[in-house]
Chains A and B, each alone.
Chain A
Amino acid sequence: MIFKSHLISMLVYSIIISTLLACIKYDEKKDIIRYGVKLLIFMVCGVIVFSWLMYYL
């Protein structure tokens, strides 16, 4: 069994998914990197924010 840490599981998942989605949406390398990084930041920050919200509510 790997990735017992939820944070690492989520990070790896986000990296793979954002890379694939960026490659699907754009063709230029620059656009792919920009969109991929943006998606990654949204996914990771979104998860952390919602996790804290759920913890406090």
Chain B
Amino acid sequence: MNSETTIDTKMNAKAYGMFFVGWFIPGLGHILQRKYVKGLIFMTGTLLLLVLGVIMQGKFYDTGQMHPLMLLGFLGDLGSGFFYFIIKLLGLGKGNIEAVTFNYGTTYMVSAGLINYLVALNAADIARGKRK
């Protein structure tokens, strides 16, 4: 194995690591790479979407029915990483379909997860040297 391959392997490992860290705690992938401002913006934005979603009585999609669209929604929700599990553990995110803001709340919550996937991919790109 030559040195170039070793560097590539290390870079890839770092990129996967940053993707995982960035997914698990939104913005942390950037903060660890000294992109403090962006990291804080991503963390605050994701948290804000989740908190507003919960306050608006939105729900996390569940996998109970095994419906393909529900599964996609669940994958979107899962993008929030650590916060998804915390909200689930606290018993929030069950939603109230009678609330006027139910649909908006659900959209806020799934958007937080989807945006966080992009944030984590961005952190991986930075680790790979594709982005500044």
Given known contacts A1-B56, A19-B41, A13 and B122 CB-to-CB distance under 8 angstroms: no
Residue pair B45, A13 in contact (C-beta under 8 Å): no
Number of A-B contacts (CB under 8 A): 50
Chain B: interface size category: 20 to 34
Given known contacts A1-B55, A13-B108, A13-B111, A20 and B100 CB-to-CB distance under 8 angstroms: no
Q: Chain B, 78-113, contact with A by CB distance < 8 Å: what is the 0/1 string?
A: 000000000000000000000111001001100100
Given known contacts A2-B52, A2-B56, A12-B52, A20 and B115 CB-to-CB distance under 8 angstroms: yes
Residue pair B52, A24 in contact (C-beta under 8 Å): no
Residue pair B99, A1 in contact (C-beta under 8 Å): yes
A-facing residues in B30-75 (Cβ within 8 Å) = 38, 41-42, 45-46, 48-49, 52, 55-57
Residue of A nearest to B119 (CB): A24
A12 cross-chain contacts in B, Cβ below 8 A: 52
Complex alpha-carbon distance, A11 and B41, angstroms: 18
Given known contacts A1-B101, A13-B111, A24 and B55 CB-to-CB distance under 8 angstroms: no
B interface SS class:
helix
B-facing residues in A2-56 (Cβ within 8 Å) = 2-4, 6, 9-10, 12-13, 16-17, 19-21, 23-24, 27
Complex alpha-carbon distance, A21 and B46, angstroms: 12
Q: Which has the most chain A C-beta neighbours within 10 Å: B45, B46, B107? A: B45
Residues of B within 8 A of A (CB): 38, 41-42, 45-46, 48-49, 52, 55-57, 99-101, 104, 107-108, 111, 115, 118-119, 122, 131-132
Residues of A within 8 A of B (CB): 1-4, 6, 9-10, 12-13, 16-17, 19-21, 23-24, 27
